[in-house]
Chains A and B, each alone.
Chain A
Amino acid sequence: MRLLVVEDETRIAELVKTALARVGFAVDVVSLCADARAALAVTSYDATIIDLGLPDGDGLSLLRELRTRGNQTPVLVLTARDAVEDRVRGLDTGADDYLVKPFAMTELIARTKALLRRPGGALGMTLKAGNISFDTIERGVRVEGTSLILPRRESAILENLMRRLGRVVPKAVFEEKLYGLDDEHGSNTIPVHIHHLRRKLLDAGATAEIHTVRGVGYLLTETSS
């Protein structure tokens, strides 16, 4: 899988490249908007990481240009800017996610993988969390290699949690994705499904657990042994 990193700070570019290469990505690094344009024109990247402050232009305008040309490559924006407004502007322009400098390399890797795991993304086939794997095409769940049979809605909940591993999935997302608008009893049954799913994962010896953030939603985290 091939990634493009657009970053003018050579030390950071170097470290990002090393870290991403270590987890198995092929990484191209450029430091100028012009070089990025040239690279994107000849190579089809699975994801692009763009720093906002570049010597020959603004990362945001590069991004806008990319999107106007119909390029749908997932983009992760890096920014050292203080104003949160800038991050939001980045997302409006078409960035898929953003990270504020300084960031932990593990966070960068997790976010990059999450982008690739999106529907249509390069990692779209199999989701992983701890010893759980989820095949999004065959819709089969395995814990430590052993198949785990889940009802349709529990399996849909698990998929959503695994797509955003380590981050909270708001209740509203489940309500939206699991039930039709006309289904009024929908929201009350989600805690019940979560309860069953949690039980089953525990019984199967999964090394990831579902946490409840009351009033907000749920999140799946890998249990550190």
Chain B
Amino acid sequence: MKLAMPGSLQVRLALRLAALYVAATAIAVGILVYQAYETADTLNDRELTLRAADLARHVTIDSSGAARLELPPALAASYQAGGNSDIFAVRRGADAVLAAFPPNFSEAAIKWPLATDEPSYFHLKDFGSEGREYYGLTVMQSSAAGPLSVSVARAADADILVHSLLREFVLDIAWVIPVLVMVTLMVGVFAIRSAFRPVADISRIAAAIAPGAMSIRLPEKNLPSEITPLVAAVNHALDRLEEGFDLQRQFTANAAHELRTPLAIVTAALDSIDENAEIAKIKADVARMNRLVDQLLRVARLDAVALDVSDRLDLNEVAADIVGSMAPWSLARKKPIAFHGENKPVVIKGNRYAIGDAIRNLVENAVTHTASGSEVTVSTYANGSISIADRGPGIPPEQRNHVFERFWRGKATNSTGAGLGLAIVAEIMKAHHGSVSVDDNPGGGMVFTLRFGRDEPSGIKRPRGGGGAK
């Protein structure tokens, strides 16, 4: 099973740093403890050797030539007081035990080979009445009675020195270690964070890059050298993207000019001819052609150029403008049009021209389909939506999913539209992350509703910042 790695580089670095600290500390403490034991062992060895020498010094030869161990009273007393913690056996030759403390140690010591120049270590398990464990050494010592083989040992549980040393270490020093690790870790994390600040800064700048703000580039100065190539590559990609956008924009603008000029000529020429039935028909055909070209260009523009939807606008204002500009056209068809605006401004984020186009298309659609003499109503709501209602024949429920497809036209309608109007509306809403829906209008007809997200007054930080509602 793989361990899931957190995504943040900062967290990763901090975790690795922490692991490194803990491992380093563990090794350091281990070495320290080992060293303490080593030192204690060396001290022990030296003490035992000294004791062996001490014992040998007190071996004397009496008048009869026999060797004897004559301990001074203070030393003998200290051995006695130790309660068998410190034991010894002094041998002269293979079988002769000069002295032993406690006396039964001689039974064990007599079996051992005599000491050589090198001290030999021994380990007694379960010795004496109390069954204690002893560590000791046998060493050759010269004395008044010639070379002696002296075995000295100390009970393992009597290693007071080492134990007290370790206790001291744990109490006085060891508690500092976790604190030290924590402090170092915190300093480490802080250092990582400050090292990553330039990255956070360029992220903020990058977030501001949008179709309407294509010229922003990420600063390449004061960056860690590991990141500079990435930032340079991103900037280069942005250059090429901007070029692409410009080309597309240029192309649609040129196409618009090239297509519209001949149409303008035909339209104007027809206007200068005295009207008759045939001219009226041609005029209608040209008007249809105009509309088709217009819509095709809009679709091309929406496809080619990403819409800048970062503007703040009042839906009331945009809708009233469109209703006002379309009223003469609508009234000429004996179809009144009305606007019911929310009392307060309905501020949303989007592209006012595109939203105006969407509303215009829906109003055109509604006016075309509503019954003569019936009213088309445009209404805005506080939740950031706008509806366009008509009193037309309606759309059968099974066809409603298709109305937003390109070049789709209802079978029943004999409209002159190209079937692009509603597709354009759907595209525009998609670019705004909004939605368009079609429902029955209570009392007959259809209602188209455009839903935008309300612009939250204080939400995501934006480079330009934004005031409240106008």
- Chain B residues positioned under 8 Å from A82 (CB to CB): 252-253, 256, 297-298, 301
The 8 Å CB contact of A211, one of B267, B297, B336, is B336
Known: A83-B301, A103-B264, A105-B268. 7 other contacts (CB 8 A): A9-B261, A11-B269, A12-B268, A82-B252, A84-B353, A170-B324, A221-B331
What residues of B have a CB within 8 angstroms of the CB of A149 in the complex?
none
11 contacts between A and B (CB under 8 A): A12-B264, A18-B272, A82-B252, A83-B353, A84-B357, A104-B271, A166-B328, A168-B323, A168-B324, A212-B336, A215-B340
A70 at the interface (CB under 8 A from B): no
What is the minimal beta-carbon distance from B178 to any residue of chain A, in angstroms?
65
Residues of B304-329 whose CB lies within 8 A of A? 320, 323-325, 327-328
Shortest beta-carbon distance from A187 to chain B in Å: 14
CB pair A102–B331 under 8 Å, yes or no, is no
Interface residues of A in 51-87 (CB under 8 A from B): 53, 80-85
User: A217 touches which one: B265, B301, B324 (CB < 8 A)?
Assistant: B324
The answer to the question of B235 belonging to the interface, with a C-beta cut-off of 8 Å to chain A, is no
Q: How far is it, in angstroms, between the C-alpha of A214 and the C-alpha of B266 when the chains are bound?
A: 36
- Residues on A with beta carbons closer than 8 Å to the beta carbon of B378: 215
Residue from the set B260, B264, B323 with the largest chain A CB neighbour count within 10 Å = B264
Does A221 lie within 8 Å of B265, measured CB to CB? no
CA distance A163 to B460 in the complex (A): 46
The answer to whether A215 and B272 touch across the interface, beta carbons within 8 angstroms, is no
Across the interface, name the chain B residue whose C-beta is closest to A88. Answer: B353
What does the 1/0 interface line of A191-225 toward B look like (CB < 8 Å)?
A: 00000000000000000000111111101010000
Q: Is B332 an interface residue (CB 8 A)?
A: yes
In contact, A214 and B338 (Cβ under 8 angstroms): yes
Look across to chain A and name the residue whose beta carbon is closest to the beta carbon of B258: A80
> A219–B327 contact, CB under 8 A?
yes
Contact call B272/A213, Cβ cutoff below 8 A: no
B328 and A168: CB pair below 8 A? yes
User: In the assembled complex, which residues on chain A have CB atoms less than 8 Å from the CB atom of B100?
Assistant: none
The interface on chain A, measured as residues whose beta carbon lies within 8 A of the other chain's beta carbons, has a size of: 34
Fill in one digit per residue for A140-159: 1 if any B CB lies within 8 Å of its CB, else 0: 00000000000000000000
CA distance A16 to B324 in the complex (A): 27
Interface residues of A in 76-123 (CB under 8 A from B): 80-85, 101-106
- Determine how close the nearest CB of chain A comes to the CB of B366; give it in whole angstroms: 14
B185 at the interface (CB under 8 A from A): no
B356: A residues at CB distance < 8 A: 84
Cross-chain contact A216 with B327 (CB below 8 angstroms): yes
Provide the residues of chain B in CB contact with A166, threshold 8 Å.
328
CB pair B272 A19 closer than 8 Å: yes
6 A-B pairs closest in CB distance: A215-B339, A105-B271, A214-B338, A102-B264, A168-B324, A15-B268
Most chain A beta carbons < 10 A, residue from B266, B271, B341, B378: B271
Interface string of B230-263 (1 = CB under 8 A from A): 0000000000000000000000110011001101
Q: By the criterion CB–CB under 8 Å, are A104 and B267 in contact?
A: yes
Q: Is B56 an interface residue (CB 8 A)?
A: no
Q: Which residues of A contact B328 (CB under 8 A)?
A: 166-168, 219, 221
A15-B324 contact given A80-B260, A213-B338, CB 8 Å threshold: no
Contact B320 A215 (CB under 8 A): yes
Closest chain-A Cβ to B16's Cβ sits at a distance in Å of: 52
